[in-house]
């Protein structure tokens, strides 16, 4: 399986997936990494591991569709079959969605359907939630609305800031995102309607 990763920032989730690919836990290859920010550390991480890394500047395109068409072209050029959004801070259009049906994953730092959209940790703190976490889901046309693959919960502490809560959630992100990618690579994710079933390995 060839994976394409889209990122905008640090890329710690990308790193977690790279690590499990390199140890052979995930039987797949990260074929390319695309970032829409030239200074995204995710690009640096890719280069360090010999993964083709591209800065695609969204400001150089006429609109979201034109940008996504360039993303699709790059991904197709590398034979990508699974697209992993890892901190990619852009709304994606049907151009990308329709090119990779049920083959785009995202991780969101809350227990969906609670707290979708931006600043999920801040939303959880402001709401007074006592438990939050993260969700890996397939991407559909909505914002953080697609079929849920895996979730993990963490407690919210009374003295949490956005940063301390985000850090606690990230530990779980780095655990469940590679796990979801692995299940996809093993052909074990079955999607019916909005429900994802994890099937057993048939031997
Ligand atoms: C993560 O918190 C993820 O939940 C959100 O963006 C952040 C990306 O972090 N979608 P990183 O770039 O993988 O370190």
Between CA 102 and CA 23 the distance in angstroms is: 26
33 and 58 co-located in one domain: yes
Q: Check if 109 has its Cβ closer than 6 Å to any atom of ligand 1.
A: yes
Domain range for 196: 107-203
99-103 contact pairs (CB < 8 A, 24+): 99/72, 99/75, 100/72, 100/75, 102/138, 102/147, 102/191
pLDDT tens series, the chain, 203 aa: 999 999 999 999 999 999 999 999 999 999 999 999 999 999 999 999 999 999 999 999 999 999 999 999 999 999 999 999 999 999 999 999 999 999 999 999 999 999 999 999 999 999 999 999 999 999 999 999 999 999 999 999 999 999 999 999 999 999 999 999 999 999 999 999 999 999 997 65
- Tally of structural domains, the chain: 2
Residue ID of nearest Cα to ligand 1 atom 9: 87
Q: Check if 164 has its Cβ closer than 6 Å to any atom of ligand 1.
A: no
Catalytic status, residue 108: yes
**111 C-alpha vs ligand 1 centroid, how far in Å?**
14
91 and 17 co-located in one domain: yes
CATH number for the domain spanning 112: value is 3.40.50.170
151 and 91 co-located in one domain: no
Ligand 1 atom at minimum distance from 12 CA: 14
Between CA 69 and CA 157 the distance in angstroms is: 43
Q: Check if 13 has its Cβ closer than 6 Å to any atom of ligand 1.
A: yes
147 and 76 co-located in one domain: no
Q: What is the ipTM of this complex?
A: 0.96
């Amino acid at each position: 399986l060839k994976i394409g990763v889209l990122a905008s920032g640090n890329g710690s989730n990308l790193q977690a997936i790279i690590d499990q690919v390199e140890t052979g836990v995930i039987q797949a290859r990260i074929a390319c990494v695309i970032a829409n920010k030239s200074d995204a550390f995710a690009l640096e991480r890719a280069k360090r591991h010999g993964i083709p890394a591209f800065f695609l500047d969204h400001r150089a395109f006429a609109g979201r569709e034109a940008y996504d068409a360039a993303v699709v072209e790059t991904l197709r050029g590398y034979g990508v079959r699974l697209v992993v959004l890892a901190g990619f801070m852009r709304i994606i259009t049907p151009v990308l969605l329709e090119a990779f049906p049920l083959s785009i994953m995202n991780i969101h730092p809350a227990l969906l359907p609670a707290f979708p959209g931006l600043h999920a940790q801040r939303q959880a703190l402001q709401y007074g939630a006592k438990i939050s976490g993260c969700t890996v889901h397939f991407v559909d046309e909505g914002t953080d609305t697609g079929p849920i693959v895996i979730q993990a919960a963490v407690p919210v502490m009374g003295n949490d800031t956005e940063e301390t809560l985000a850090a606690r959630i990230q530990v779980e992100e780095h655990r469940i995102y590679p796990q979801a990618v692995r299940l996809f690579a093993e052909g074990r994710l079955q999607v019916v309607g909005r429900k994802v079933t994890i099937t057993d390995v048939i031997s």
